[in-house]
């Protein structure tokens, strides 16, 4: 699972001022100067931070679910995930827009995702998987000592061969794509508000979420936390509030 930073707008101060405008107020950054060593000698490094009162305001907004101030900043990412993960990702609609690679227009050779570990089906809930890897002994006995990964790779190779053969014989890409497995990687641009990303992260980083989308959520956290450190912590770190 991959997520790459493209762009963002706003900052923690944007959240603060979106809230303070209700009272026709506006806040500003606090600046501090620190002496730092550089390759050229000692220099002043000016750093900006929120005022303590503004940090408290952000925490208050998050704690009481006043989400609209967090709707003004936005983040744009390019994500690369297999189709079955993308379909889960696209369930997050409110506050997001997506533009995905279309195999109506491109017919380059697709790539496929294969997990490192096959997880066993969970016995204590209707969906999801257990924390234990699947014991493949019985499967291998029934399939000539072939592993599940080897079977999947064989299926992908067959699908890819059929796909290319259909294209070579003039089948339109928009129809030929129907034979490609859900393990095929797709890519898309996604832009969402800070509030929308936080909602998605809180759901998809949960232990009950599918492991593959939990892995994607880790990328969101890595990218967004440095951009909006106070707001992101207030929205997703339970101990912060």
Instruction: List active site positions.
Output: 204
The β-bridge relationship of strands 96-100 and 185-193 is: antiparallel
Which are the contacts of 199, defined by CB distance < 8 A and separation ≥ 6?
92, 94, 95
DSSP of 192-204, one letter per residue?
EEHHHHHHHHHHH
Q: CA–CA distance from 68 to each of 65, 77, 163 (Å)?
A: 9, 21, 46
Confirm if 72 and 168 have CB atoms less than 8 A apart. no
Residue 18, phi then psi, degrees to nearest 5: -65, -30
Residue 27, phi then psi, degrees to nearest 5: -105, 175
**For 39-158, where are the E strands, in sequence order?**
41-49, 74-82, 96-100, 119-121, 129-133
Chain centre to alpha carbon of residue 55: 26
Contacts 24+ apart (CB under 8 A), 209-215: 210/85, 210/88, 210/128, 210/129, 211/119, 211/129, 212/1, 212/81, 212/82, 212/84, 212/85, 212/115, 213/1, 213/81, 213/85, 213/88, 213/89, 215/1
Question: What is the widest separation between alpha-carbon atoms in the chain?
Answer: 74
């Amino acid at each position: 699972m991959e997520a790459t930073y493209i762009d963002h707008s706003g900052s923690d101060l944007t959240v603060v001022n979106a809230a303070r405008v209700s009272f026709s107020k506006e806040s500003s950054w606090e600046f501090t100067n620190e002496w730092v060593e550089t390759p050229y000698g000692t220099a002043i490094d000016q750093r900006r931070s929120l005022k303590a009162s503004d940090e408290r305001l952000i925490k208050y907004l998050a704690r009481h679910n006043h989400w609209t101030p967090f709707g003004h900043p936005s983040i744009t990412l390019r994500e690369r995930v297999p189709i079955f993960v993308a379909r889960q990702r696209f369930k997050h609609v409110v506050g997001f827009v997506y533009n995905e690679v279309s195999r109506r227009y491109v017919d380059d050779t697709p790539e496929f995702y294969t997990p490192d570990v096959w997880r066993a089906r969970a016995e204590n809930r209707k969906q999801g998987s257990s924390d234990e890897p699947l014991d493949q002994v019985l499967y291998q006995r029934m399939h000539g000592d072939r592993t599940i990964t080897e079977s999947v790779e064989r299926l992908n190779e067959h699908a890819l061969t059929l796909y290319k053969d259909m294209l070579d014989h003039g089948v339109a890409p928009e129809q030929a794509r129907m034979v490609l497995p859900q393990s095929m990687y797709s890519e898309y641009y996604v832009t969402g508000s800070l509030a929308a990303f936080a909602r998605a992260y809180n759901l998809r980083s949960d232990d009950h979420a599918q492991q593959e989308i939990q892995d994607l959520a880790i990328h969101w956290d890595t990218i967004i936390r440095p951009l909006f450190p106070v707001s992101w912590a207030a929205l997703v770190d339970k101990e912060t509030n």
